[in-house]
Amino acid sequence: MAAAPTSSTSAPTSSISGFEIVWLEIADEPAAWRAAGFEVDDDGRCVVGTVEHRLVGRTDGIAGITGWGIVRAGDASTHQRSIDGIATTAAGDHRCGPPGVHTAQRGCIDHLVIGTPDTPRTAAALRAEGLGQRGHRDTNSEGEAVDMTFFWAGPVLLELAGPPTPKVGGGPARLRGVAFATDRLDELVDRLGDRVTAPRDAVQAGRRISALTEAAGCTTPVAFMTPHR
């Protein structure tokens, strides 16, 4: 999570295809996200920026981000499908409610991580949706060899990460984690204590990152980053 692409990733006003993410379905308990500072309503919904996070609770054998809802320009129908194994609801003209609040949150997703055993295959599936590639890296934030490709989906940056050599037939892609931008990272770390890691330098110069630990009680990898300069 949080590696920087090698080409410019300044956020566009809209994606090439009109492809935008309107919700994430997450197998976490709403209470865990409330304890991490997010404003979650009685139905388990938390809106950050333009994306609604639907916290549906934990179920045996199911964890993390289990699917997403998208809208695309010119597609007003609602139906279920898959994008390289990612459970996808084409949400027609759905729009989420007003933005929620995180007590140390600038109000947007910094990036959404997609894990895959075969980056070229999943990248091709995203390009088939009309998304244009916005950068590439061959190492992650720990300096390990990876194959990472970046796409903009509306205002959300997608970080697609897989092994340096594709594992053909290695299974579907999945939504792996989410990073949020915050301009009060130190305040957040002080408040959450052992529920977050100590801040460290991110790959991008001048930025720092911290992540929720197991003590936070979330099955979804969640990170917080200082904003882009």
Q: Indicate the SS3 state at residue 86.
A: strand
**150 alpha-carbon distance from chain centroid:** 12
- The per-residue pLDDT for range 9-37, each reduced to its tens digit, is 444 434 445 789 999 999 999 999 999 98
Assigned token pair, 32: 């865990």
Which whole number is the average pLDDT over 80-91? 92
Which whole number is the average pLDDT over 181-198? 93
Separation between Cα atoms, residue 185 and residue 166, nearest integer Å: 36
Q: Is the pLDDT of residue 7 over 70?
A: no
CATH architecture of 20-225: Roll (3.10)
State residue 93's pLDDT score: 62
Kindly list the domain boundaries of the chain, sorted by start residue: 20-225
Residues near 4 by beta carbon (within 8 Å), at least 6 away in sequence:
135, 137, 202, 203, 204
Determine how β-strand 86-91 pairs with β-strand 145-153: unpaired
Radius of gyration of the chain (CA): 17
- The per-residue pLDDT for range 168-179, each reduced to its tens digit, is 888 999 999 999
Separation between Cα atoms, residue 22 and residue 155, nearest integer Å: 11
Percentage of the chain lying above the pLDDT 90 cut: 60
Q: Is the pLDDT of residue 82 over 90?
A: yes
State residue 74's pLDDT score: 67
Angle at 46 between CA 178 and CA 112, to 5 degrees: 15
Q: How many residues does the chain have?
A: 229
Q: What is the mean pLDDT of the chain?
A: 85
- The per-residue pLDDT for range 139-156, each reduced to its tens digit, is 877 778 989 999 999 889
